Amino acid sequence: MPSFIKFLKFCVCEKDISCSLYNTKQKIVIKVQLTSQNCRTKALKIAAEAKGVSNVSIDVEKAVVEVIGIGVDAVSLAQSLEKQLGFASIVSVGEVKKPEEPKPAIPIEWTSSYIHCPRYAVHYDGFCRC
């Protein structure tokens, strides 16, 4: 009986983790073979048609495809890219971090350098002769 409870806890924890990763925005980086413009077009088209993809970009110098989306299956995406392009391997899969919001500017309180005269009489030299 105790082993069954341990197994049940393990299954519940695994399910919670997978569901939380499935519902968050992910960034998937896949290394592909980009030898020509035709290969780049194919890679973009395949990645854009995948389920859950919201943003696709290609870095030609590093030969990687970056895919951002919610609930994207990285393995099936890599397999379909490999099928069409000949080579594809997953470099990283991670959660997209939100950019830090800038802190609001604290207004500076300025004190007036003008000494207020009770009769509002200020002369040319800047002094009040009340």
Minimal CA–CA distance to 69: which of 38, 91, 47, 84?
47
Domain that holds residue 58: 25-95
What is this structure's pTM?
Answer: 0.60
Q: Which two tokens stand for residue 62?
A: 């590093």
pLDDT at 104: 84
Number of compact structural domains in the chain: 1
55 in a domain, yes or no?
yes
106 in a domain, yes or no?
no
79 in a domain, yes or no?
yes
71 in a domain, yes or no?
yes
Mean pLDDT of 101-129: 64
CATH number of domain containing 88: 3.30.70.100
111 in a domain, yes or no?
no
CB–CB of 29/89 below 8 Å? no
1 in a domain, yes or no?
no
pLDDT in tens, 7-58: 444 444 444 444 555 678 899 999 998 889 999 999 999 999 999 999 999 9
